[in-house]
Structure 1
Amino acid sequence: MMESVTFNSGSNVLTGHVYLPEGYDPQLRYPAVVCSGSWTTVKEQMAGLYAKRLAEKGYLCLAFDFTGFGESEGEPRFYEHPEQKIKDIHHAISYLLTRKDVEQEAIATLGICAGSMYTLMEASQDERVKAVATVASWLHDAEAVKLFYGGEDGVKSRIEAAQQAKKHYAQTNEVLYIPTISKTDSTAAMYGDYDYYLNPSRGAVPNWSADKFAVMSWEDWLALDPMPSASNLNTPTLMVHSDGCVLPQYTKNYFEKIPVADKKLHWVETDLPSPVHQFMFYDQNAEVSMAVELVEQWFGLHLRT
């Protein structure tokens, strides 16, 4: 069972899908989970899939479109704005707490890929989150982004382009865009044969934009460093990763800095090279089922009393 909902995040109205537990009874209260997917994504992609699968395990789960994406309000459109996304997750939790069918002291958050950065950073400053989990986490810093975006010169040129795009927007109200994904255009935000984002039977869903990534996003994205937030994360934390996912050492580094003893790093064995295994966790049944089982067990320990 799934219902469409709306809630406020600042001055914008966000749209989400609430997946209801098996055997749902509106008179009962359920542990609840906010699910967040990778950068640029919408609720119909990995966030919705994990929300649906966790609902089948007895959780009330929310997947939603972040500000400026999908069916949610917000300008500029398709602007990957980490600070705003962290605020959106905060407001998503606030929305869940208004529901009579949610157990107030049993809220968890789940992040997949880049959603892990936003989820972990939000949890590190929000005591309402009682448990957090990440799957195939994308965690970067100033050195890591050089590996993906053309070294120091590539990062610098993208940041400069973003700064110019912000000035252009302030002066003209026009947003400059590049493709989100392309196999032929090297200026695209994701340049390569990434089947998940190119295949309509996988992640290339109608509500997602393959051709609009706001150039102004580069500055906010590349300057983001979630790593210091680990030392402030006092929430029971599960991280699921593998050597075939992106930046495996960064997930290990982040995990080591989490100060609580109540934490778990589940390392999945794979022969797949990085980042091939990353995309498997977005929608392939074997990886998703494995991750959902691990996450459900973790949330069960900390949300069900």
Structure 2
Amino acid sequence: MPERKKLESNLDKVEVRQVEFECHGEKLHGDLYLPKKRPPFGKLPGVVVTGAWTSVKEQMSGLYASELAMRGFVALAFDFRGWGLSAHDGKTKYLEDPARKTDDIRAAIDFMGRCPDVDPDRICGLGICASAGYMSAATGGNRHVHSLALVAPWLHNSEIVSEVYGGAEGVSELLKVGRDALTHEEPRYIVAASKVDDTALMFDVEYYTEEDRGLIPEFDNKFNLASWEAWLTFDGVHTAEKQNQPTLIVHSEAAAIPKGAREFARRMGDRATTLWFEDVTQFDFYDKAQPIDRALEAVAEHFLSTM
């Protein structure tokens, strides 16, 4: 079932509230998903959910948040500063900056701690794809978070960056593009995903270029070229060094850079549990019912057993 239809089918079981909170004086917009059937008294465990790079809350993070609400959690999906609805209130837009997004996640965690329906002593983090590294950075050592899960995590270091982006020469060229954009008087944006524009960040890439999947009206479909330096120099693997939360990693050898997930898990040692699926692609984890249901069954069990 396509992502949007599955989200709509959950509405009879899930309550969705539009919420707002701030990070560094800028307003962030989110959707808070709650189970409609919940105890009249008492609070529920909360989960902050974040998605892939360039994504908005109506894509994979909203789907996972909705599914978590059906499993008894209060789950928050939100638009990072400069993206989706949150782009309306800030000057910097479409910037894939790990440090900036990490701060947004910390603000989201603080918001969940104040949410009247959420037990502040049972808050968890779920990062999907690129935001896995941001989520790890935001939750490591954070006394307000008690469990972490990473699904299809894109976790790179300098070695993996070189392998993915064309070696030292390719990385150098992208860094130059990013630095030039940073000094340019006006922001420089390109299309994030396209089937026809070969200058797009993701040319002819599935999910993002399909209207019944990721190419939805809410998707900004833009990328700020000033992102390159922050993105390429971010070491998501290294965030494992400070990650003290019990962590579940769900991935597949058929998905993106499994090498990074394995190294992340190795560095965490017995603090991490890994679950590997067979023949599940990166994009399958975004909106395909079977891998998502299997992943969330494991994620929910992990959260409930480690909070």
Question: Do both proteins adopt the same fold according to a TM-score greater than 0.5, normalized to the shorter chain?
Answer: yes
Structure 2 CA distance for aligned equivalents of residues 301 and 25 of structure 1: 20
Contact 2:17/2:32 (<8 A) preserved: yes
1:190-231 CA deviation, whole Å, 9 max, x = no partner? Answer: 23x222001111111111122x21010011111111222212
Q: 2:230 aligned to 220, 223, 230, which one?
A: 220
Contact 1:236/1:262 (<8 A) preserved: yes
**Which residue matches 1:247?**
257
SS in 2 for 1:257: helix
**Which residue matches 2:201?**
189
Q: 1:111 aligned to 127, 135, 140, which one?
A: 127
Structure 2 CA distance for aligned equivalents of residues 237 and 137 of structure 1: 12
Structure 1 CA distance for aligned equivalents of residues 40 and 75 of structure 2: 14
Q: 2:215 is aligned with what amino acid?
A: A
Give how far 1:184 is off: 4.0
**Which residue matches 2:45?**
31
Give how far 1:155 is off: 1.2
| Shift in alpha-carbon separation, 1:151–1:262, aligned structure 2, 3 A | closer
Contact 1:22/1:57 (<8 A) preserved: no
Q: For residues 251-266 of structure 1, what are the structure 2 equivalents within 5 Å? A: 251-259=261-269, 261-266=270-275
Name the stretch that deviates more: 219-228 or 85-94.
219-228
Structure 1 CA distance for aligned equivalents of residues 157 and 128 of structure 2: 18
Give how far 1:25 is off: 4.6
Contact 2:157/2:238 (<8 A) preserved: no
Residue 135 (str. 1) matches residue 151 (str. 2): yes
Q: 1:67 aligned to 81, 87, 101, which one?
A: 81
Question: How does the TM-score come out when normalised to structure 1?
Answer: 0.92
Residue 200 (str. 1) matches residue 211 (str. 2): yes
**Which residue matches 1:299?**
303
Structure 2 CA distance for aligned equivalents of residues 38 and 202 of structure 1: 14
Residue 151 (str. 1) matches residue 167 (str. 2): yes
Give how far 1:146 is off: 2.4
Give how far 1:265 is off: 0.4
Name the stretch that deviates more: 22-31 or 245-254.
22-31
Structure 2 unmatched runs, 5+: 1-14
Structure 1 unmatched runs, 5+: none
Identity between Structure 1 and Structure 2 (%): 38
Structure 2 CA distance for aligned equivalents of residues 125 and 247 of structure 1: 26
Structure 2 CA distance for aligned equivalents of residues 26 and 263 of structure 1: 35
CA RMSD in angstroms comes to 1.4
Give how far 1:46 is off: 0.3
